[in-house]
Structure 1
């Protein structure tokens, strides 16, 4: 077993990049090309090649603490190996009243 601080080389954060728990991560490494990453990052890339996963799902799948996964994802983003789908800010979501009216309208059909 490798200690989490050894996996991140003692780093506890990324340079200016924070990953939301529900941000969707997708691998964007061309097939046949091996990026210069460690074994933990390679495992993350393998998981994300099948389809987008949230940061929380990745942490659960690789069985590493969330902080460690965020540092590893920051490294992958810096190497242009992943694409991050940001969650929609709550201010841009539709109003709850509009959604209720849509649901009621659908029920009326």
Structure 2
């Protein structure tokens, strides 16, 4: 029980607002399939924001230089799924530009056969330890 004048929350408890409250209960973004490696950058000059939530203005400020969605999520201290929704809203409004991560056609590109061989070699090395 707290005494009069003492705060009723603990700093170690974390945020008091649940992530779904930030997105108003939405679990899907504005139609953009964003990857955690997608780069986002603020359009210059940035149009006026239609959202009053502080997260939107923070995203616009930090994306003056290109940031990945994962970096934005880490800096905001929000789950990646929530950040994707907020970033998607700003892309849909024309406030942010985005560039999806490069994907290749060869077998040795990201998540291709080459990566699986490397992962298998690492696993084999760990097992030998």
TM-score of the aligned structures, taking structure 2 as reference length: 0.65
In structure 2, relative to structure 1, the CA distance for the partners of 1:47 and 1:15 (3 Å cut) is: closer
Residue in structure 1 matched with residue 94 of structure 2 by the alignment: 80
TM superposition shift of 1:29: 4.9
1:9-48 superposed matches below 5 A: 9-30=24-45, 34-37=48-51, 38-48=53-63
Which structure 1 segments of 5+ residues have no match? Answer: 96-109
Structure 1 or 2, whichever has the larger Rg, is 2
Count of matched residue positions in the alignment of Structure 1 and Structure 2: 93
Q: Which has the higher helix share?
A: 1
Does the alignment pair 1:65 with 2:79? yes
C-alpha contact (below 8 Å) 1:29/1:35 kept by paired residues? no
| Residue of 18, 30, 35 corresponding to 1:3 | 18
Distance in 2, matches of 1:16 and 1:35, equals 19
Instruction: Give the structure, 1 or 2, with the largest relative contact order (CA under 8 Å, sep 6 or more).
Output: 1
The DSSP-based 3-state class of the residue aligned with 2:28 is coil
The Cα of 1:52 is off from its aligned counterpart by 0.2
Extract structure 1 runs of 4+ deviating beyond 2 A.
92-95
Distance (whole Å) between structure 2 residues aligned to residue 35 and residue 93 of structure 1: 42
State how far apart, in whole Å, the 1-side matches of 2:71 and 2:101 are: 15
